[in-house]
Amino acid sequence: MAIAIDYYLANIGLEAQVLRYLLKSMRPRQWVKNLFVFAGLVFDEKFFVLPLLGKTVLTFILFSMVSSAVYLLNDIVDIEHDRKHPEKRFRPIASGKLRLREAIIAAILLLAIALPIAFRLNLGLGLVTGGYLLLMLVYSFVLKHMVIVDVLTIAGGFVLRVWAGTIVVSVTRFSPWLFVCTVLLSLFLGISKRRHEVVLLSEEAVNHRQILDEYSPKLLDEMIDIVASATVIAYSLYTFSAENLPKNHAMMLTIPFVLYGIFRYLYLIHQKNLGGSPEQALLQDRPLLIDIGLWVIIAAAILYIF
């Protein structure tokens, strides 16, 4: 009896360990990227419409499930390259703590649950979610090996998140400028991540990912300068040209917070070497987190009160 109990407890411990490694591989920190699905709800001024809020929350969950499945598949595809990376070699799949079979089954289950629910909720949402999955799969096997196209594809994923959010709430006053801002901001983050990889890995970069040999810190810095400047300009144009904003152009008051956020992130890239993980910078850098919080509060007050 004692042996049987010990065996049962050991199995429970093993299963808990597998679930812990599985959750880590699903990258819960990166689910913050899926908050972009709330853009349609917030900027169409429908945040307090509870049925639409519920649909958007569900959309966030569905995109988190699909993106987690993609992360698992990415780790499976990149297992050999990740084992040569100074940080990624500790990931559960690359280190061997999570077996390939377990990761594949989990990815299939996540997709088998998320995609049918997305189609059931809204046909358009199902198509966009499926398009996001397809784009990420093509990225994993083909597009991430194509210079410049790789970061453009990442930006495309963010646009699809925003688009999905606009579909479920049937937006009527959502400014096209916000799609432009999404593209530019995601390019800024994606290029910054590439720069971090090139600088961190140095001569070993090409051994980790062949495409990194096509980039240099100088090229990436110039690309960052362009998209950072364009982001500020596009957002500024949005603040005084979008039709649904107050006619007194009060949204322009949020421009300084966007400027600070970009400057702060550039500081983290160049001085703290944190550009490799946007979600980590967001969650761990207090000044950046405060800045974003203030932007949210002021923008919400302008949209919903004034």
Residue whose entry in the numeric block shows the structure tokens 């050991």:
10
- What pLDDT is stored for residue 23 in this prediction? 87
> Domain check: are 125 and 205 in the same one?
no
> Contact, 38 vs 56, CB < 8 A?
yes
Residue-wise pLDDT for 250-260, tens only, equals 999 999 999 99
Give Rg (Cα) of the chain. Answer: 21
> Domain check: are 17 and 118 in the same one?
yes
> Domain check: are 190 and 130 in the same one?
no
> Contact, 59 vs 165, CB < 8 A?
yes
Indicate whether 77 pLDDT > 70. Answer: yes
**150 falls within a domain:** no
> Contact, 45 vs 173, CB < 8 A?
yes
- What pLDDT is stored for residue 251 in this prediction? 95
pTM (global) more than 0.75: yes
**43 falls within a domain:** no
**24 falls within a domain:** yes
pLDDT > 90: percent of the chain:
58
**271 falls within a domain:** yes
CA distance 168 to 287: 33
CA distance 292 to 286: 10
| Collapsed DSSP state (helix, strand, coil) of residue 75 | helix
> Domain check: are 126 and 203 in the same one?
no
> Domain check: are 127 and 179 in the same one?
no
**148 falls within a domain:** no
- What pLDDT is stored for residue 123 in this prediction? 96
- What pLDDT is stored for residue 213 in this prediction? 83
Q: Which residues contact 243 (CB under 8 A, 6 or more apart)?
A: 173, 175
Of 90, 120, 139, which one is at a domain's C-terminal end?
A: 139
> Domain check: are 103 and 217 in the same one?
no
**280 falls within a domain:** yes
Of 139, 163, 183, which one is at a domain's C-terminal end?
A: 139
Residue-wise pLDDT for 136-154, tens only, equals 999 988 998 899 999 999 9
Binning pLDDT at 50, 70 and 90, where does residue 207 land?
low
> Domain check: are 130 and 183 in the same one?
no
> Domain check: are 120 and 182 in the same one?
no
- Closest to 76 (Cα-Cα) out of 112, 113, 115, 102: 102
Domain count, the chain: 2
> Domain check: are 281 and 210 in the same one?
yes
- What pLDDT is stored for residue 58 in this prediction? 97
**163 falls within a domain:** no
CA distance 300 to 41: 12
- What pLDDT is stored for residue 14 in this prediction? 46
> Domain check: are 133 and 4 in the same one?
yes
CB under 8 A, 24+ apart: contacts of 203-207 = 204/84, 207/81, 207/84
> Domain check: are 118 and 19 in the same one?
yes
**151 falls within a domain:** no
Binning pLDDT at 50, 70 and 90, where does residue 4 land?
very low
- What pLDDT is stored for residue 169 in this prediction? 95
- Closest to 110 (Cα-Cα) out of 165, 149, 73: 73
> Domain check: are 134 and 261 in the same one?
no
Indicate whether 129 pLDDT > 80. Answer: yes
Domain range enclosing 260: 175-306
Backbone angles phi, psi at 97, to 5 degrees: -70, -30
